[in-house]
Amino acid sequence: MLSPYVHINPWDVMLVIVVSVQATILACLQQPRWKAFIISLPVPFTLMALAAGRPLDATNVMGLFFLLLFTHAVRLLYQKLRIPIIPAIILSALGYCMLGFVAAQLLPKTDAAFWVTWVFVFLLGAYLSIKLPDRTEPEYRTQLPVWIKLPIIAGVVLILILVRNILQGFATVFPMVGVIAVYESRYCLWTIGRQIPVVMVSMSTMMAVAYLVQQQWSFPMALLAGWCAFLLVFGLITIRMWAKAPNPA
């Protein structure tokens, strides 16, 4: 026990391990489309939700919007304002946390708040996934050793575990893999940002299904039902996007 409010449970341990593996796999990939694919998988969300033991509410869904802001904030700070990538990531992550802290206090934990937030996030994700154009960006893989990457990833996850009660549902959608993804994808940040609306649509669908059954079913089974919805929607969108996009070099 780290404090009266924070307990490390087996889900936390699995979260650190699995997120580290997912981020390491992403770091080994070169093609931007595969980096975007890996970052879309809601494994960190699932494990953090199980570790927190909180039913889903509007904060989980609004976190998807803040994820969009985080990703494009890194891109704009790094590419437009020429801020080095690591400070850009830190500033964007702090911005996510500050927004999450404030919004967690303001968003009601009601059905109405959940569904109003859900409609906003789903429609915005659907609109952006249609309107944002694809861009051909260079392949890139950094040579940063795994023994440096893994402690960074583990540290990010452990910090989230410590503050998850404050961030509430926003902790589940925090870019645990994303902080490494944007570092590894510094030359294809548009592709990563272009993927987030897809995440917004597919993961909001996942959350809606889980939310509808979480009172009747056990929470793990509710998340499993959400995963089925996610895989269907994400698979259909990915097939359409990859069919339209030019083949990677």
Residue 1 lies in a domain: no
Confidence of residue 166 (pLDDT cuts 50, 70, 90): confident
Whether residue 192 is predicted with pLDDT greater than 50 in this model: the reply is: yes
Place of tokens 């079913």: 217
CA–CA gap between residue 22 and residue 133 (Å, rounded): 27
Residue 3 lies in a domain: no
Residue 4 lies in a domain: no
Residue 5 lies in a domain: no
Place of tokens 């934990």: 109
Whether residue 3 is predicted with pLDDT greater than 50 in this model: the reply is: no
CA–CA gap between residue 180 and residue 159 (Å, rounded): 15
CA–CA gap between residue 179 and residue 93 (Å, rounded): 8
- Please state, in angstroms and as integers, the Cα–Cα distance from residue 68 to each residue in 96, 192, 195, following that order: 10, 10, 9
Residue 226 lies in a domain: yes
Residue 244 neighbours by CB under 8 Å, 6+ apart: 134
Determine the structural domain holding residue 196 and report its residue range: 10-244
249: Cα separation from own chain's centroid: 27
- Mean pLDDT is lowest, of 23-32, 40-49, 79-88, 97-106, for 23-32
Residue 211 lies in a domain: yes
Confidence of residue 156 (pLDDT cuts 50, 70, 90): confident
CB burial of residue 88 (10 Å; 0-12, 13-18, 19+): buried
What are the tokens at 31?
Answer: 């093609």
Whether residue 245 is predicted with pLDDT greater than 90 in this model: the reply is: no
Whether residue 195 is predicted with pLDDT greater than 70 in this model: the reply is: yes
Whether residue 4 is predicted with pLDDT greater than 50 in this model: the reply is: no
Question: Count of domains in the chain?
Answer: 1
Residue 187 lies in a domain: yes
Whether residue 16 is predicted with pLDDT greater than 90 in this model: the reply is: no
Residue 70 lies in a domain: yes
Backbone angles phi, psi at 238, to 5 degrees: -65, -40
- pLDDT of 41 reads 92
Residue 222 neighbours by CB under 8 Å, 6+ apart: 209, 210, 211, 213, 214
More confident residue, 211 or 152: 211
Cα first-last separation, the chain: 50
- pLDDT of 2 reads 41
- Tens-digit pLDDT profile for residues 66-102: 999 999 999 999 989 999 988 999 999 999 999 999 9
128: left (phi over 0), alpha (psi -120 to 50) or beta: alpha
